[in-house]
Structure 1
Amino acid sequence: MKTVRIKIDVLRPDAKPTGRVDHRQLDATTESDVAIQLAADEAEAMQDAAKFARRVRRRLGFSQAEFANRIDVSLQTIRNWEQGKRCPTGAAKALLKVLDKAPEAALAVLH
């Protein structure tokens, strides 16, 4: 992503840049369009979380059952995470991040 820096003269608010907004498209966007995009964004976020959980488990070399046992959650929970049906939250999300960054230390603490 490209970063563009601009300077705005606070004494001339009308001189601010207009940006690259297509106002016709923006005005034509309905609440239904917004809801559809929100659902698509949420589905993509769930798939990203699923891929992350799967990647962490595979990097550790565990089967789903072994991984569930090591982090003390049900096998169904692991399956739901990896299939994108559920998303790890709170402590589980933090644990996955620690397992990703410092697996040896995290596993040593868990057992």
Structure 2
Amino acid sequence: MAIARMTLDEALAAARDEAPGRRARLAAVTDEEIERRAHEDDENPPWTDEELARGVAGRRVRLARERDGLSQAEFARRYCLTRETVEALEDGALLPDPALDAYLRAIEADPDGVRRSLAAGAR
């Protein structure tokens, strides 16, 4: 494959010229075709239900942590978790059990209320 040298403006113009045809080709791909191609990709197999659940839980934890501008260690300390647990959740390596899941949902819904409850219990 030859290397083409062009300015950024030329590259953007080429991409715009290509875009309508590319969009039409993508629009013509059916859901069944996407699913078939995903299953044929040995390097990137579809997630299992458990992998998907771990990923969703990890994303929820990361979003809750980032909402308050906390590092993993700060989030763990604030909510009486270990940093390793927060890291494992965010990495999708840990699927929270029902009790931890309920606790994480409480943190998502009312982080100030959870902090107040923890502070009251520490007295």
TM-score range, shorter chain: 0.5 to 0.7
Give the 5 Å matches for 1:49-60.
49-60=57-68
Point out where structure 1 has 5 or more consecutive residues left out of the alignment. Answer: 1-35
Matches of 1:91 and 1:79 in 2, distance apart? 18
Kindly indicate which of the two structures has a greater share of residues assigned to helix: 2
- 1:67 matched residue in structure 2: 75
Give the 5 Å matches for 1:11-50.
40-50=48-58
Normalising to structure 1: TM-score of the pair?
A: 0.60
Matches of 1:93 and 1:59 in 2, distance apart? 18
Q: 1:77 aligns with which of 85, 88, 97?
A: 85
How far did 1:90 drift? 2.7
Q: Please, what is the CA RMSD of the aligned residues?
A: 1.8
Identity fraction in percent: 32
- 1:97 matched residue in structure 2: 105
Point out where structure 2 has 5 or more consecutive residues left out of the alignment. Answer: 1-44
Q: Deviation digits for residues 77-102 of structure 1, max 9, x if unmatched? A: 11000000002223221111111111
Give the 3 Å change call, closer, same or farther, for CA 60–92 of structure 1 in structure 2. farther
Give the 3 Å change call, closer, same or farther, for CA 42–90 of structure 1 in structure 2. closer
Count of residues in Structure 1 that have an aligned counterpart in Structure 2: 75
